[in-house]
C-alpha cells in the first residue's frame, strides 16, 4: 500500500485533498493529511476511508521526520519558504516530492542528489506555474514536430471574480494569498520583444499593459511578470524574438492600483506606528503633500492629473475618503493596505471566482504566419470549491496519481514540461472540465 503525505490543508488544497482521498480506497493507498488545524483537517476527511488527519507544527523536526518516514510520496502545500526544508528531508529519507510552487534555487542545488537517489521531485505543477507550462508545451512540441518556427509567445493568467459576482468597482476580490497580491510585481520585470530586451521597473509596471478579449466574459488587461527571460530555456525557445508572461486583471484595475504604487502604500521595507484614532482618510493623507486647507480629494486629484472618475470611484469604494479607523496601526504600509483590502475583497460564501489564461503564439509555417490563441476559462462553485483551488490542486493530485500508477517513469528534478508528464495530466484535467479552446489564423505569405 502506497502512503501519500500531504503537508498543508488550506483553501488551495480542497480539490487536491478530495481527489487523493477518493482514490485512496479504490487504489489501496493511504492519505495522511497534516497541518496546524487538526479539527479542520478532520472535517475535510469525514467519511473518507484510508485517510488520517495529523496535527503538525512544521518546525517540529522530530515529528516532521517521523511523518515523512511513513510516506512514499510527500506533497507540500505549506508556504513556499518551507519547501526546501521539506524537500531536503524527503531526499534524505528517499521519498518522492511534489509541489505546486516555483522551483527554488535551493531545490536546483539538490538536482544531482535527487537523480542519484532515483527519485522524482516535481515542482511547478499547479496553476501558474503548472497548467501554463503544460498547455504551452503541448503547442510548442506540436509546432516543432511539424517543422514550424515559433517567433512570439505571450502568456497571461489571472485569478479573478466570475462575472456574475463582480459586485464592486474593482471587479476583484482575493482568491489567493492577499499578501502576494499587495506585493505583486515588486522588482523589475524583464522580457524580450522583437529581439530587444525590455526592463520594466516597478513604478512603471502597471502602465505597461497588454489587452485581451475573451468571448462571453469580456476584456482584460495584463501587466508583465517579473522574469519572462528565464522561460526561454525552460520551453526550449532560447532564440525566440518575443516572449512575455504576465498577470491578468479587469480593465481599469491596473490604473487604480498604480495610485497605491506611486503613493508608496505597497512599500514593505519600513514600519509605521499610527495613532489609535487614525482614519483611512488620515492614512491616505499621510502619502500626500501637505497643504493647510486643501482636502484629501483635491490633493489626490492634483497629484494624479489623469485621475478619472472610474479610478476615483475605486479608491472611494475602499473607504479612503472616510473616517473609518484603520484596521492596523503598526506595520508596514503594505501590511496596513492589505488589512484594509481584506475587509472589502474577501470572498462571500456564495461568491464564485474565475481563472482566465491566454497563450498567444506567432508561428512561422510553410503556408505563412500562423497566429494561435489558446484560452482557458474556469469558474468556481463557491468560496470553498474555488476555481483557484481546482486549478492549483487537481494538476498536482493527478500527477501523484499518475506517478503511483506507473504512468510517469521520469526521475530527477522536473517541472511539467516533458510529454510523459504533461500529456496524462492535461487529458485528466480535460475530463474534469479544465480544458483549453484553441483558434488558429493563417496569414497568407506574400
Residue pLDDT, tens place only, 223-267: 999 899 999 999 999 999 999 999 999 999 999 999 999 999 999
- Spell out the alpha helix ranges (H) of 54-149: 61-70, 83-92, 105-108, 111-116, 131-145
Residue pLDDT, tens place only, 135-151: 999 999 999 999 999 99
Nearest partner of 137 among 82, 125, 90, judged by Cα: 125
Cα 356 to Cα 376: distance, rounded to the nearest angstrom: 6
SS3 66: helix
Is the pLDDT at 217 greater than 90? The verdict is yes
User: What pLDDT was estimated at residue 445?
Assistant: 59
- Bridge-partner residues for 444, per DSSP? 368
Distance (Å) of CA 188 to CA 79, 85, 318, 420: 24, 28, 28, 34
Residue whose cell numbers read 497541518: 35
The verdict on pTM exceeding 0.85 is yes
Average pLDDT, integer, range 8-24: 94
Q: Binning pLDDT at 50, 70 and 90, where does residue 59 land?
A: confident
Q: Binning pLDDT at 50, 70 and 90, where does residue 367 land?
A: confident
Question: Do 400 and 19 form a contact (C-beta atoms < 8 A)?
Answer: no
User: What pLDDT was estimated at residue 444?
Assistant: 64
- Bridge-partner residues for 29, per DSSP? 2
Q: Domains (ranges, CATH) in the chain?
A: 2-123 (3.40.50.720), 131-252+349-386+436-444 (3.30.360.10), 264-345 (1.10.1870)
User: What pLDDT was estimated at residue 58?
Assistant: 85
Nearest partner of 243 among 140, 160, 147, judged by Cα: 140
Radius of gyration of the chain (CA): 23
Is the pLDDT at 446 greater than 80? The verdict is no
The region, left, alpha or beta by phi > 0 then psi within -120 to 50, assigned to residue 390 is: alpha
Average pLDDT, integer, range 72-97: 95
Mean pLDDT estimate for the chain: 95
Residue pLDDT, tens place only, 316-331: 999 999 999 999 999 9
Cα 74 to Cα 122: distance, rounded to the nearest angstrom: 11
Q: Which three cell numbers stand for residue 181?
A: 497580491
Amino acid at each position: 500500500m502506497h502512503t501519500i503525505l500531504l503537508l498543508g490543508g488550506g483553501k488551495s488544497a480542497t480539490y487536491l485533498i478530495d481527489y487523493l482521498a477518493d482514490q485512496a480506497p479504490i487504489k489501496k493507498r493511504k492519505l495522511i493529511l497534516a497541518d496546524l488545524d487538526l479539527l479542520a483537517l478532520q472535517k475535510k476527511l469525514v467519511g473518507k476511508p484510508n485517510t488520517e488527519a495529523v496535527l503538525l507544527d512544521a518546525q517540529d523536526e522530530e515529528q516532521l521526520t517521523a511523518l515523512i518516514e511513513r510516506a512514499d510520496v510527500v506533497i507540500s502545500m505549506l508556504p513556499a519558504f518551507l519547501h526546501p526544508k521539506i524537500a531536503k528531508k524527503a531526499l534524505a529519507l528517499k521519498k518522492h516530492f511534489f509541489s505546486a510552487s516555483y522551483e527554488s534555487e535551493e531545490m536546483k542545488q539538490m538536482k544531482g542528489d535527487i537523480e542519484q537517489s532515483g527519485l522524482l521531485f516535481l515542482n511547478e505543477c499547479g496553476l501558474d506555474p503548472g497548467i501554463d507550462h503544460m498547455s504551452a508545451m503541448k503547442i510548442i512540441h506540436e509546432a516543432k514536430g511539424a517543422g514550424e518556427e515559433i517567433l512570439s509567445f505571450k502568456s497571461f493568467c489571472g485569478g479573478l471574480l466570475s462575472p456574475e459576482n463582480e459586485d464592486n468597482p474593482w471587479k476583484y476580490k482575493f482568491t489567493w494569498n492577499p499578501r502576494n497580491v499587495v506585493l505583486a510585481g515588486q522588482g523589475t520585470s524583464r522580457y524580450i520583444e522583437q529581439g530587444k530586451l525590455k526592463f520594466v521597473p516597478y513604478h512603471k509596471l502597471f502602465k505597461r499593459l497588454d489587452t485581451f478579449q475573451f468571448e462571453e466574459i469580456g476584456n482584460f488587461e495584463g501587466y508583465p511578470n517579473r522574469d519572462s527571460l528565464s522561460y526561454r530555456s525552460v520551453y526550449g525557445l532560447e532564440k525566440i524574438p518575443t516572449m512575455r508572461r504576465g498577470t491578468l486583471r479587469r480593465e481599469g484595475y491596473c490604473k487604480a492600483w498604480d495610485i497605491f504604487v506611486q503613493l508608496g502604500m505597497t512599500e514593505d521595507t519600513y514600519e509605521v506606528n499610527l495613532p489609535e484614532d487614525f482614519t483611512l482618510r488620515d492614512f491616505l493623507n499621510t502619502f500626500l503633500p501637505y497643504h493647510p486647507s486643501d482636502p484629501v480629494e483635491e490633493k489626490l486629484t492634483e497629484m494624479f492629473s489623469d485621475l478619472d472618475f472610474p479610478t476615483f470611484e475605486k479608491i472611494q469604494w475602499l473607504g479612503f475618503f472616510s473616517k473609518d479607523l484603520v484596521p492596523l496601526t503598526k506595520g508596514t504600509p503594505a501590511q496596513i493596505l492589505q488589512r484594509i483590502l481584506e475587509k472589502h475583497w474577501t470572498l462571500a460564501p456564495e461568491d464564485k471566482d474565475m481563472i482566465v489564461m491566454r497563450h498567444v503564439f506567432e508561428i512561422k509555417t510553410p503556408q505563412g504566419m500562423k497566429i494561435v490563441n489558446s484560452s482557458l476559462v474556469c469558474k468556481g462553485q463557491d468560496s470553498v470549491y474555488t476555481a483557484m483551488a481546482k486549478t492549483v490542486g487537481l494538476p498536482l493530485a493527478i500527477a501523484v496519481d499518475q506517478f503511483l500508477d506507473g504512468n510517469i517513469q521520469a526521475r530527477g528534478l522536473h517541472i511539467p514540461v516533458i510529454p510523459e508528464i504533461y500529456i496524462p495530466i492535461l487529458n485528466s484535467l480535460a475530463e474534469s472540465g479544465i480544458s483549453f479552446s484553441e483558434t488558429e489564423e493563417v496569414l497568407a505569405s506574400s
